[in-house]
Chains A and B, each alone.
Chain A
Amino acid sequence: MPVPTEDVFRIEDLRIRAGKKELLKGISLSLRRNEILSAIGPSGSGKTTFLRCLNRLTDLEEGLTIEGRVLFKGKNIFDPETDAIELRRKVGMVFAVPMPLPMSIRDNLMLPLRLQSNSLEEDADGRIETCLRAAFLWDEVKDRLSLAATSLSGGQQQRLCLARSLMVRPDVLLLDEPCSGLDPISTAKIEEALQGLKKVMSVVLVTNNVKQASRTSDRTAFLLMGELVELGETGQIFTNPRDSRTGDYVSGRFG
Protein backbone atom coordinates (compact mmCIF):
# COMPACT_ATOMS: atom_id res chain seq x y z
CA MET A 1 0.00 0.00 0.00
CA PRO A 2 1.65 3.26 -1.06
CA VAL A 3 2.01 5.73 1.75
CA PRO A 4 2.06 9.39 0.70
CA THR A 5 5.65 10.58 1.17
CA GLU A 6 5.11 14.10 2.29
CA ASP A 7 8.33 16.07 2.76
CA VAL A 8 9.22 17.20 6.26
CA PHE A 9 11.96 19.54 5.17
CA ARG A 10 12.18 21.15 1.79
CA ILE A 11 15.35 23.08 1.19
CA GLU A 12 15.49 25.41 -1.77
CA ASP A 13 18.72 26.91 -3.00
CA LEU A 14 20.25 27.33 0.43
CA ARG A 15 23.32 29.54 0.39
CA ILE A 16 25.39 30.45 3.39
CA ARG A 17 28.26 32.87 3.36
CA ALA A 18 30.65 33.98 6.04
CA GLY A 19 32.02 37.23 4.72
CA LYS A 20 33.31 36.42 1.23
CA LYS A 21 33.60 32.71 1.89
CA GLU A 22 30.77 30.56 0.61
CA LEU A 23 30.08 27.72 3.03
CA LEU A 24 27.06 26.34 1.19
CA LYS A 25 26.63 27.04 -2.50
CA GLY A 26 22.98 26.59 -3.26
CA ILE A 27 21.68 23.34 -1.85
CA SER A 28 18.26 21.99 -2.73
CA LEU A 29 16.90 18.79 -1.33
CA SER A 30 13.97 17.32 0.58
CA LEU A 31 13.81 15.24 3.69
CA ARG A 32 11.04 12.68 3.53
CA ARG A 33 8.95 11.34 6.28
CA ASN A 34 10.36 8.28 8.04
CA GLU A 35 13.65 8.20 6.24
CA ILE A 36 17.24 8.32 7.28
CA LEU A 37 19.11 10.70 5.06
CA SER A 38 22.84 10.65 5.48
CA ALA A 39 25.16 13.44 4.45
CA ILE A 40 28.71 12.50 3.64
CA GLY A 41 31.67 14.45 2.35
CA PRO A 42 35.22 15.33 3.24
CA SER A 43 36.10 17.59 6.13
CA GLY A 44 35.14 21.19 5.54
CA SER A 45 32.51 20.40 2.95
CA GLY A 46 29.79 22.12 4.95
CA LYS A 47 27.94 19.18 6.50
CA THR A 48 27.84 20.64 9.98
CA THR A 49 26.88 24.04 8.69
CA PHE A 50 24.03 22.50 6.73
CA LEU A 51 22.80 20.56 9.72
CA ARG A 52 22.89 23.51 12.09
CA CYS A 53 20.86 25.49 9.63
CA LEU A 54 17.93 23.12 9.97
CA ASN A 55 17.25 23.97 13.61
CA ARG A 56 18.58 27.50 13.30
CA LEU A 57 21.53 26.95 15.59
CA THR A 58 23.20 29.14 12.98
CA ASP A 59 21.45 32.02 14.77
CA LEU A 60 24.09 31.74 17.45
CA GLU A 61 26.89 32.55 15.07
CA GLU A 62 27.78 36.05 14.07
CA GLY A 63 28.38 37.11 10.53
CA LEU A 64 26.61 34.36 8.60
CA THR A 65 24.48 35.40 5.64
CA ILE A 66 21.79 32.90 4.80
CA GLU A 67 19.85 32.95 1.56
CA GLY A 68 17.31 30.61 0.08
CA ARG A 69 14.44 28.87 1.79
CA VAL A 70 14.21 26.06 4.29
CA LEU A 71 10.62 24.89 4.57
CA PHE A 72 9.74 22.86 7.62
CA LYS A 73 6.26 21.39 7.18
CA GLY A 74 5.65 24.01 4.54
CA LYS A 75 6.81 27.05 6.48
CA ASN A 76 10.08 28.86 5.91
CA ILE A 77 12.06 28.62 9.12
CA PHE A 78 13.87 31.84 8.35
CA ASP A 79 10.64 33.85 8.17
CA PRO A 80 10.63 36.49 10.87
CA GLU A 81 7.45 35.05 12.38
CA THR A 82 8.92 31.58 12.79
CA ASP A 83 9.73 30.89 16.42
CA ALA A 84 13.17 29.30 16.59
CA ILE A 85 12.40 27.90 20.05
CA GLU A 86 9.35 26.04 18.75
CA LEU A 87 11.32 24.83 15.76
CA ARG A 88 14.09 23.39 17.94
CA ARG A 89 11.58 21.46 19.98
CA LYS A 90 10.45 19.77 16.81
CA VAL A 91 13.93 19.32 15.36
CA GLY A 92 16.23 17.64 17.85
CA MET A 93 19.98 17.45 17.62
CA VAL A 94 22.85 15.25 18.77
CA PHE A 95 26.33 16.72 18.58
CA ALA A 96 29.58 15.13 17.54
CA VAL A 97 31.08 15.29 21.01
CA PRO A 98 28.86 13.72 23.67
CA MET A 99 27.45 16.64 25.64
CA PRO A 100 25.90 15.42 28.85
CA LEU A 101 25.21 18.33 31.17
CA PRO A 102 26.86 18.17 34.59
CA MET A 103 23.81 16.91 36.42
CA SER A 104 22.30 13.51 37.08
CA ILE A 105 21.17 11.21 34.29
CA ARG A 106 17.58 11.82 35.25
CA ASP A 107 18.00 15.60 35.33
CA ASN A 108 19.57 15.49 31.90
CA LEU A 109 16.49 13.72 30.60
CA MET A 110 14.08 15.93 32.53
CA LEU A 111 15.61 19.12 31.20
CA PRO A 112 13.73 19.18 27.89
CA LEU A 113 10.47 18.65 29.76
CA ARG A 114 11.30 21.36 32.26
CA LEU A 115 11.97 23.78 29.45
CA GLN A 116 8.37 23.31 28.34
CA SER A 117 6.80 24.05 31.67
CA ASN A 118 3.34 24.38 30.12
CA SER A 119 3.27 20.75 29.08
CA LEU A 120 4.82 18.99 32.04
CA GLU A 121 4.71 15.32 31.25
CA GLU A 122 2.36 13.59 33.65
CA ASP A 123 4.31 10.36 33.38
CA ALA A 124 7.88 11.60 33.24
CA ASP A 125 9.35 8.34 34.50
CA GLY A 126 7.57 6.42 31.79
CA ARG A 127 8.82 8.82 29.20
CA ILE A 128 12.37 8.50 30.50
CA GLU A 129 12.18 4.74 30.23
CA THR A 130 10.78 4.87 26.72
CA CYS A 131 13.51 7.20 25.51
CA LEU A 132 16.30 5.31 27.22
CA ARG A 133 15.02 2.08 25.71
CA ALA A 134 14.84 3.71 22.29
CA ALA A 135 18.48 4.72 22.69
CA PHE A 136 19.46 1.21 23.89
CA LEU A 137 20.67 2.57 27.20
CA TRP A 138 17.92 1.55 29.59
CA ASP A 139 19.43 -1.71 30.80
CA GLU A 140 22.75 -0.07 31.51
CA VAL A 141 21.46 2.83 33.59
CA LYS A 142 18.04 1.88 34.94
CA ASP A 143 19.39 1.35 38.46
CA ARG A 144 21.43 4.52 38.65
CA LEU A 145 19.45 7.34 37.16
CA SER A 146 20.54 9.67 39.92
CA LEU A 147 24.19 9.17 39.11
CA ALA A 148 26.15 11.97 37.48
CA ALA A 149 25.75 11.79 33.72
CA THR A 150 29.41 12.58 33.30
CA SER A 151 30.29 9.34 35.07
CA LEU A 152 29.03 7.33 32.10
CA SER A 153 31.37 6.10 29.38
CA GLY A 154 31.62 8.11 26.18
CA GLY A 155 29.38 5.73 24.28
CA GLN A 156 26.80 5.74 27.04
CA GLN A 157 26.95 9.51 27.23
CA GLN A 158 26.20 9.80 23.54
CA ARG A 159 23.25 7.46 23.85
CA LEU A 160 22.04 9.52 26.78
CA CYS A 161 22.21 12.60 24.57
CA LEU A 162 20.22 10.73 21.96
CA ALA A 163 17.61 9.78 24.55
CA ARG A 164 17.52 13.35 25.82
CA SER A 165 16.77 14.73 22.39
CA LEU A 166 13.87 12.28 22.10
CA MET A 167 12.17 13.40 25.29
CA VAL A 168 10.03 16.03 23.61
CA ARG A 169 9.03 13.83 20.68
CA PRO A 170 10.73 15.66 17.82
CA ASP A 171 9.66 15.17 14.21
CA VAL A 172 13.21 15.32 12.96
CA LEU A 173 16.48 14.27 14.49
CA LEU A 174 19.75 15.82 13.37
CA LEU A 175 22.91 13.89 14.16
CA ASP A 176 26.34 15.35 13.54
CA GLU A 177 28.86 12.51 13.36
CA PRO A 178 27.30 10.95 16.46
CA CYS A 179 29.64 7.97 16.46
CA SER A 180 32.89 9.66 15.59
CA GLY A 181 34.56 8.92 18.90
CA LEU A 182 32.73 5.74 19.86
CA ASP A 183 33.59 2.08 20.10
CA PRO A 184 32.02 -0.35 17.60
CA ILE A 185 29.48 -1.68 20.08
CA SER A 186 28.12 1.73 21.00
CA THR A 187 28.14 2.63 17.33
CA ALA A 188 26.11 -0.45 16.51
CA LYS A 189 23.63 0.38 19.25
CA ILE A 190 23.13 3.89 17.96
CA GLU A 191 22.65 2.64 14.42
CA GLU A 192 20.12 0.13 15.65
CA ALA A 193 18.36 2.87 17.60
CA LEU A 194 18.09 4.98 14.46
CA GLN A 195 16.38 2.13 12.62
CA GLY A 196 13.75 2.09 15.33
CA LEU A 197 13.40 5.84 15.44
CA LYS A 198 12.78 6.24 11.75
CA LYS A 199 9.40 4.60 12.21
CA VAL A 200 8.25 7.74 14.00
CA MET A 201 10.49 10.49 12.69
CA SER A 202 12.93 11.55 10.03
CA VAL A 203 16.64 11.48 10.62
CA VAL A 204 19.50 13.42 9.06
CA LEU A 205 22.76 11.67 9.79
CA VAL A 206 25.98 13.48 9.05
CA THR A 207 28.82 11.03 9.08
CA ASN A 208 32.45 10.88 8.09
CA ASN A 209 32.18 7.14 7.86
CA VAL A 210 30.89 6.12 4.45
CA LYS A 211 30.31 2.56 5.61
CA GLN A 212 27.96 3.87 8.25
CA ALA A 213 26.06 5.82 5.64
CA SER A 214 25.73 2.76 3.44
CA ARG A 215 24.64 0.56 6.36
CA THR A 216 22.18 2.93 7.91
CA SER A 217 20.59 5.35 5.54
CA ASP A 218 17.83 5.22 2.96
CA ARG A 219 19.24 8.03 0.88
CA THR A 220 22.65 9.61 0.84
CA ALA A 221 23.75 13.12 -0.05
CA PHE A 222 27.33 13.79 -1.04
CA LEU A 223 28.62 17.26 -0.27
CA LEU A 224 31.86 18.69 -1.56
CA MET A 225 33.14 22.18 -0.85
CA GLY A 226 29.69 23.45 0.01
CA GLU A 227 28.10 21.93 -3.03
CA LEU A 228 25.56 19.12 -3.17
CA VAL A 229 27.25 16.89 -5.72
CA GLU A 230 24.75 14.08 -5.70
CA LEU A 231 21.75 12.83 -3.82
CA GLY A 232 20.18 9.46 -4.35
CA GLU A 233 19.10 6.16 -2.93
CA THR A 234 21.93 4.89 -0.80
CA GLY A 235 22.31 1.73 -2.90
CA GLN A 236 22.64 3.73 -6.05
CA ILE A 237 25.14 6.19 -4.56
CA PHE A 238 27.39 3.39 -3.46
CA THR A 239 27.11 1.05 -6.41
CA ASN A 240 26.30 3.26 -9.33
CA PRO A 241 27.10 6.93 -8.66
CA ARG A 242 26.30 9.36 -11.43
CA ASP A 243 29.10 11.76 -10.61
CA SER A 244 32.66 10.51 -10.77
CA ARG A 245 33.58 12.55 -7.67
CA THR A 246 30.98 10.67 -5.68
CA GLY A 247 32.40 7.39 -6.85
CA ASP A 248 35.91 8.47 -5.95
CA TYR A 249 34.83 9.50 -2.48
CA VAL A 250 32.74 6.49 -1.53
CA SER A 251 35.37 4.13 -2.80
CA GLY A 252 37.96 5.92 -0.70
CA ARG A 253 40.04 7.36 -3.52
CA PHE A 254 40.06 10.80 -1.90
CA GLY A 255 38.80 12.73 1.10
Chain B
Amino acid sequence: MNRRWIDLISRAFTALTGLACATLVLAVAMILGHVAYHGWAGLSWKFLTTAPRNGMTEGGIFPAIFGTVFLVVLMTVAVVPLGVSTAIYLREYAHADSRWVQAVRMAIQNLAGVPAIVFGLFGLGFFIEFVGKGIDAAFFGGKLYFGQPAILWAALTLALLTLPTVVVSTEEALRVVPRGHREVAYSLGATRWQMVRRVVLPQAVDGILTGTILAVSRGVGEVAPILFTGAAFYLPFLPTRLNQQFMVMNYHVYVLATQSPDIDATLPLLYSTVLVLLLLTLTLNSAAIVIRSRLRRRMKGSK
Protein backbone atom coordinates (compact mmCIF):
# COMPACT_ATOMS: atom_id res chain seq x y z
CA MET B 1 0.00 0.00 0.00
CA ASN B 2 1.34 3.36 -0.75
CA ARG B 3 1.80 6.21 1.57
CA ARG B 4 -1.19 8.24 0.45
CA TRP B 5 -3.60 5.44 1.06
CA ILE B 6 -2.35 4.94 4.58
CA ASP B 7 -2.70 8.63 5.23
CA LEU B 8 -6.19 8.63 3.82
CA ILE B 9 -7.32 5.65 5.87
CA SER B 10 -5.89 7.06 9.05
CA ARG B 11 -7.59 10.37 8.39
CA ALA B 12 -10.88 8.65 7.65
CA PHE B 13 -10.59 6.77 10.90
CA THR B 14 -9.97 9.92 12.87
CA ALA B 15 -13.01 11.45 11.26
CA LEU B 16 -15.17 8.40 11.99
CA THR B 17 -14.25 8.20 15.65
CA GLY B 18 -14.78 11.93 15.95
CA LEU B 19 -18.15 11.57 14.30
CA ALA B 20 -19.14 8.86 16.76
CA CYS B 21 -18.31 11.12 19.68
CA ALA B 22 -20.13 14.02 18.09
CA THR B 23 -23.25 11.88 17.60
CA LEU B 24 -23.21 10.98 21.26
CA VAL B 25 -22.78 14.54 22.44
CA LEU B 26 -25.44 15.70 20.02
CA ALA B 27 -27.92 13.09 21.21
CA VAL B 28 -27.43 14.04 24.85
CA ALA B 29 -27.61 17.73 24.04
CA MET B 30 -30.79 17.26 22.04
CA ILE B 31 -32.55 15.30 24.77
CA LEU B 32 -31.52 17.74 27.46
CA GLY B 33 -32.25 20.74 25.29
CA HIS B 34 -35.67 19.51 24.31
CA VAL B 35 -36.67 18.70 27.86
CA ALA B 36 -35.22 21.90 29.26
CA TYR B 37 -36.84 24.03 26.58
CA HIS B 38 -40.31 22.67 27.19
CA GLY B 39 -40.03 22.04 30.89
CA TRP B 40 -38.33 25.20 32.04
CA ALA B 41 -41.44 27.38 31.99
CA GLY B 42 -43.35 25.09 34.31
CA LEU B 43 -40.61 24.97 36.90
CA SER B 44 -41.45 26.96 39.97
CA TRP B 45 -41.09 26.73 43.69
CA LYS B 46 -44.74 25.86 43.84
CA PHE B 47 -44.32 23.06 41.33
CA LEU B 48 -41.60 21.54 43.47
CA THR B 49 -43.38 21.88 46.78
CA THR B 50 -47.02 21.02 46.19
CA ALA B 51 -48.94 17.86 45.40
CA PRO B 52 -50.70 17.13 42.11
CA ARG B 53 -54.26 18.36 41.89
CA ASN B 54 -57.29 17.95 39.74
CA GLY B 55 -56.62 14.50 38.38
CA MET B 56 -52.93 15.40 38.00
CA THR B 57 -53.60 18.03 35.41
CA GLU B 58 -52.53 20.74 37.81
CA GLY B 59 -50.32 21.19 40.84
CA GLY B 60 -46.81 20.01 41.55
CA ILE B 61 -44.81 16.90 42.15
CA PHE B 62 -43.58 17.18 45.71
CA PRO B 63 -44.75 13.73 46.83
CA ALA B 64 -42.94 12.13 43.92
CA ILE B 65 -39.69 13.98 44.71
CA PHE B 66 -39.99 13.05 48.35
CA GLY B 67 -40.72 9.43 47.50
CA THR B 68 -37.82 9.19 45.08
CA VAL B 69 -35.30 10.55 47.55
CA PHE B 70 -36.65 8.40 50.37
CA LEU B 71 -36.56 5.34 48.15
CA VAL B 72 -33.03 5.92 46.90
CA VAL B 73 -31.71 6.62 50.38
CA LEU B 74 -33.26 3.41 51.68
CA MET B 75 -31.90 1.49 48.74
CA THR B 76 -28.41 2.90 49.25
CA VAL B 77 -28.48 2.10 52.94
CA ALA B 78 -29.32 -1.49 52.02
CA VAL B 79 -27.12 -2.08 49.01
CA VAL B 80 -23.83 -0.44 50.01
CA PRO B 81 -23.13 -2.43 53.17
CA LEU B 82 -24.30 -5.64 51.56
CA GLY B 83 -22.39 -5.10 48.34
CA VAL B 84 -19.21 -3.87 49.99
CA SER B 85 -19.08 -6.70 52.48
CA THR B 86 -19.72 -9.23 49.75
CA ALA B 87 -16.85 -7.80 47.74
CA ILE B 88 -14.57 -7.72 50.78
CA TYR B 89 -15.40 -11.30 51.50
CA LEU B 90 -14.75 -12.39 47.93
CA ARG B 91 -11.47 -10.49 47.55
CA GLU B 92 -9.95 -10.47 50.98
CA TYR B 93 -11.23 -13.44 52.89
CA ALA B 94 -12.38 -16.26 50.66
CA HIS B 95 -10.00 -18.54 48.82
CA ALA B 96 -9.80 -17.09 45.35
CA ASP B 97 -10.48 -20.29 43.48
CA SER B 98 -12.81 -22.13 45.82
CA ARG B 99 -16.08 -23.52 44.49
CA TRP B 100 -18.03 -21.33 46.84
CA VAL B 101 -16.47 -18.14 45.54
CA GLN B 102 -17.06 -19.18 41.98
CA ALA B 103 -20.69 -19.91 42.81
CA VAL B 104 -21.11 -16.47 44.38
CA ARG B 105 -19.46 -14.81 41.38
CA MET B 106 -21.72 -16.69 39.02
CA ALA B 107 -24.77 -15.69 41.04
CA ILE B 108 -23.76 -12.03 40.88
CA GLN B 109 -23.17 -12.20 37.15
CA ASN B 110 -26.54 -13.80 36.60
CA LEU B 111 -28.18 -11.26 38.84
CA ALA B 112 -26.80 -8.55 36.60
CA GLY B 113 -28.41 -10.16 33.58
CA VAL B 114 -31.92 -10.50 34.99
CA PRO B 115 -34.48 -8.14 33.39
CA ALA B 116 -35.80 -5.46 35.71
CA ILE B 117 -39.39 -6.63 35.51
CA VAL B 118 -38.35 -10.01 36.89
CA PHE B 119 -36.94 -8.25 39.93
CA GLY B 120 -40.33 -6.63 40.36
CA LEU B 121 -42.09 -9.95 40.31
CA PHE B 122 -39.48 -11.46 42.58
CA GLY B 123 -39.93 -8.59 45.04
CA LEU B 124 -43.64 -9.19 45.03
CA GLY B 125 -43.31 -12.92 45.52
CA PHE B 126 -40.43 -12.95 47.96
CA PHE B 127 -40.47 -9.73 49.97
CA ILE B 128 -44.20 -9.07 50.10
CA GLU B 129 -45.83 -12.48 49.92
CA PHE B 130 -43.18 -14.44 51.76
CA VAL B 131 -41.22 -12.13 54.08
CA GLY B 132 -43.92 -9.52 54.63
CA LYS B 133 -46.75 -11.93 55.13
CA GLY B 134 -44.47 -14.01 57.30
CA ILE B 135 -43.74 -11.03 59.54
CA ASP B 136 -47.45 -10.24 59.76
CA ALA B 137 -48.29 -13.79 60.69
CA ALA B 138 -45.52 -13.99 63.26
CA PHE B 139 -45.80 -10.60 64.95
CA PHE B 140 -49.13 -9.01 64.06
CA GLY B 141 -51.52 -11.93 64.31
CA GLY B 142 -52.04 -12.01 60.57
CA LYS B 143 -53.14 -8.38 60.31
CA LEU B 144 -51.86 -6.57 57.26
CA TYR B 145 -48.77 -4.51 58.05
CA PHE B 146 -45.84 -5.67 56.00
CA GLY B 147 -47.52 -8.09 53.62
CA GLN B 148 -48.35 -5.33 51.15
CA PRO B 149 -46.54 -3.12 48.67
CA ALA B 150 -44.36 -0.70 50.65
CA ILE B 151 -41.36 1.56 50.27
CA LEU B 152 -39.25 -0.87 52.28
CA TRP B 153 -39.88 -3.73 49.85
CA ALA B 154 -39.41 -1.52 46.83
CA ALA B 155 -36.10 -0.29 48.19
CA LEU B 156 -34.91 -3.82 48.91
CA THR B 157 -35.93 -4.95 45.44
CA LEU B 158 -33.97 -2.09 43.93
CA ALA B 159 -31.06 -2.92 46.21
CA LEU B 160 -31.03 -6.43 44.80
CA LEU B 161 -31.09 -5.05 41.28
CA THR B 162 -28.15 -2.74 41.92
CA LEU B 163 -26.19 -5.19 44.07
CA PRO B 164 -24.00 -6.47 41.20
CA THR B 165 -22.96 -2.92 40.34
CA VAL B 166 -21.75 -2.25 43.86
CA VAL B 167 -20.08 -5.64 44.27
CA VAL B 168 -18.26 -5.46 40.96
CA SER B 169 -16.98 -1.92 41.36
CA THR B 170 -15.92 -2.55 44.95
CA GLU B 171 -14.11 -5.71 43.95
CA GLU B 172 -12.34 -3.85 41.20
CA ALA B 173 -11.32 -1.14 43.65
CA LEU B 174 -9.98 -3.71 46.10
CA ARG B 175 -8.14 -5.52 43.33
CA VAL B 176 -6.02 -2.55 42.36
CA VAL B 177 -4.69 -1.94 45.88
CA PRO B 178 -1.05 -2.99 45.51
CA ARG B 179 0.04 -6.19 47.13
CA GLY B 180 2.95 -4.29 48.66
CA HIS B 181 0.58 -2.13 50.68
CA ARG B 182 -1.00 -5.21 52.17
CA GLU B 183 2.42 -6.60 53.02
CA VAL B 184 3.34 -3.35 54.70
CA ALA B 185 0.24 -3.59 56.86
CA TYR B 186 0.99 -7.18 57.80
CA SER B 187 4.63 -6.42 58.48
CA LEU B 188 3.52 -3.73 60.93
CA GLY B 189 1.48 -6.30 62.83
CA ALA B 190 -1.96 -5.80 61.34
CA THR B 191 -4.59 -8.49 61.53
CA ARG B 192 -6.40 -9.23 58.32
CA TRP B 193 -9.33 -7.06 59.32
CA GLN B 194 -7.03 -4.19 60.33
CA MET B 195 -5.26 -4.50 57.00
CA VAL B 196 -8.58 -4.28 55.18
CA ARG B 197 -9.94 -1.51 57.36
CA ARG B 198 -6.87 0.72 57.60
CA VAL B 199 -5.06 0.19 54.33
CA VAL B 200 -7.28 -1.36 51.69
CA LEU B 201 -10.67 0.23 52.27
CA PRO B 202 -9.44 3.82 52.41
CA GLN B 203 -7.92 3.32 48.98
CA ALA B 204 -11.07 1.65 47.72
CA VAL B 205 -13.47 4.37 48.86
CA ASP B 206 -13.23 5.93 45.46
CA GLY B 207 -14.34 2.83 43.64
CA ILE B 208 -17.04 2.09 46.20
CA LEU B 209 -18.49 5.56 45.74
CA THR B 210 -18.32 5.23 41.99
CA GLY B 211 -20.28 2.00 42.30
CA THR B 212 -22.75 3.75 44.58
CA ILE B 213 -23.21 6.55 42.09
CA LEU B 214 -23.90 4.06 39.34
CA ALA B 215 -26.30 2.17 41.58
CA VAL B 216 -28.15 5.34 42.53
CA SER B 217 -28.44 6.47 38.92
CA ARG B 218 -29.83 3.11 37.98
CA GLY B 219 -32.11 3.02 41.02
CA VAL B 220 -33.61 6.40 40.19
CA GLY B 221 -34.29 5.27 36.66
CA GLU B 222 -35.91 1.87 37.05
CA VAL B 223 -39.69 1.66 37.18
CA ALA B 224 -40.33 -2.03 36.68
CA PRO B 225 -38.95 -3.31 40.01
CA ILE B 226 -41.04 -0.93 42.09
CA LEU B 227 -44.23 -1.22 40.11
CA PHE B 228 -45.58 -4.19 42.07
CA THR B 229 -43.63 -3.60 45.24
CA GLY B 230 -44.68 -0.17 46.44
CA ALA B 231 -44.96 2.63 43.89
CA ALA B 232 -48.35 4.31 43.99
CA PHE B 233 -50.32 5.91 41.18
CA TYR B 234 -51.42 8.72 43.43
CA LEU B 235 -51.27 9.20 47.18
CA PRO B 236 -52.85 11.98 49.16
CA PHE B 237 -50.16 11.72 51.85
CA LEU B 238 -46.37 11.37 52.15
CA PRO B 239 -44.92 8.05 53.29
CA THR B 240 -43.60 8.36 56.82
CA ARG B 241 -43.33 4.69 57.68
CA LEU B 242 -41.46 1.90 55.99
CA ASN B 243 -44.58 -0.09 55.24
CA GLN B 244 -46.36 2.63 53.32
CA GLN B 245 -46.62 3.09 49.61
CA PHE B 246 -45.08 6.09 47.92
CA MET B 247 -45.13 8.17 44.80
CA VAL B 248 -41.99 8.28 42.74
CA MET B 249 -40.78 10.46 39.88
CA ASN B 250 -40.20 7.97 37.13
CA TYR B 251 -43.53 6.22 37.64
CA HIS B 252 -45.19 9.59 37.85
CA VAL B 253 -43.76 10.41 34.42
CA TYR B 254 -45.24 7.21 33.10
CA VAL B 255 -48.59 8.00 34.67
CA LEU B 256 -48.64 11.54 33.33
CA ALA B 257 -47.73 10.36 29.88
CA THR B 258 -50.23 7.53 29.56
CA GLN B 259 -53.00 7.81 32.13
CA SER B 260 -54.01 11.42 31.96
CA PRO B 261 -57.61 12.34 31.25
CA ASP B 262 -56.48 15.52 29.49
CA ILE B 263 -53.25 15.13 27.54
CA ASP B 264 -52.92 18.77 26.55
CA ALA B 265 -53.23 19.97 30.13
CA THR B 266 -50.69 17.42 31.37
CA LEU B 267 -48.02 17.87 28.74
CA PRO B 268 -46.29 20.91 30.29
CA LEU B 269 -46.34 19.18 33.66
CA LEU B 270 -44.83 16.12 32.05
CA TYR B 271 -41.92 18.10 30.61
CA SER B 272 -41.25 19.83 33.89
CA THR B 273 -41.40 16.53 35.77
CA VAL B 274 -38.87 14.94 33.43
CA LEU B 275 -36.62 17.97 33.80
CA VAL B 276 -36.78 17.71 37.58
CA LEU B 277 -36.04 13.99 37.39
CA LEU B 278 -32.94 14.68 35.33
CA LEU B 279 -31.86 17.45 37.67
CA LEU B 280 -32.45 15.23 40.68
CA THR B 281 -30.27 12.47 39.23
CA LEU B 282 -27.65 15.07 38.45
CA THR B 283 -27.79 16.43 41.99
CA LEU B 284 -27.51 13.01 43.59
CA ASN B 285 -24.56 12.21 41.34
CA SER B 286 -22.77 15.47 42.00
CA ALA B 287 -23.30 15.06 45.72
CA ALA B 288 -21.60 11.68 45.55
CA ILE B 289 -18.81 13.09 43.40
CA VAL B 290 -18.20 15.92 45.85
CA ILE B 291 -18.08 13.49 48.76
CA ARG B 292 -15.68 11.34 46.79
CA SER B 293 -13.24 14.11 46.06
CA ARG B 294 -13.40 15.29 49.68
CA LEU B 295 -12.51 11.83 50.88
CA ARG B 296 -9.81 11.53 48.28
CA ARG B 297 -8.18 14.71 49.46
CA ARG B 298 -8.51 13.82 53.11
CA MET B 299 -7.04 10.41 52.58
CA LYS B 300 -4.03 11.49 50.57
CA GLY B 301 -3.19 14.05 53.20
CA SER B 302 -2.52 17.62 52.16
CA LYS B 303 -1.48 20.91 53.53
Contact = CB atoms under 8 A, between A and B. Distances in A.
Interface stretch (A69-77, A91-99, A196-204, A206-214): A91-99
Contacts of B182: 60
Given A95-B183, A114-B198, A103 B299 contact: yes
Interface in A161-196: 161, 164-165, 168
Given A86-B189, A165-B188, A57 B183 contact: yes
Nearest to B195: A115
Contacts of A144: 303
B188 A99 contact: no
B113 interface: no
A232 interface: no
B188 A112 contact: yes
Contacts of A141: none
Contacts, number: 78
Give the bracket for the number of chain A residues in contact with chain B.
Answer: 20 to 34
Contact of B180 (A97, A104, A147): A97
B194 A115 contact: yes
Interface string A137-173: 0000000101111100000000001001100100000
A146 B190 CA distance: 23
Interface residues of B, number: 22
Contact of A147 (B183, B190, B198, B301): B301
B300 interface: yes
Nearest to B189: A89
B17 interface: no
Interface string A118-147: 000000000000000000000000001011
Contacts of A99: 180-181, 183-184
Max chain B C-beta neighbours (<10 A), residue from A57, A92, A115, A149: A115
B303 A146 contact: yes
Max chain A C-beta neighbours (<10 A), residue from B182, B188, B202: B188
A3 interface: no
Contact of B301 (A89, A93, A105): A105
Contacts of B299: 102-103
Interface of A: 55, 57, 60, 85-86, 88-89, 92-93, 95, 97, 99, 101-107, 111-112, 114-116, 144, 146-150, 161, 164-165, 168
Given A111-B199, A147-B301, 6 more contacts: A95-B183, A95-B184, A102-B299, A104-B301, A148-B300, A165-B188
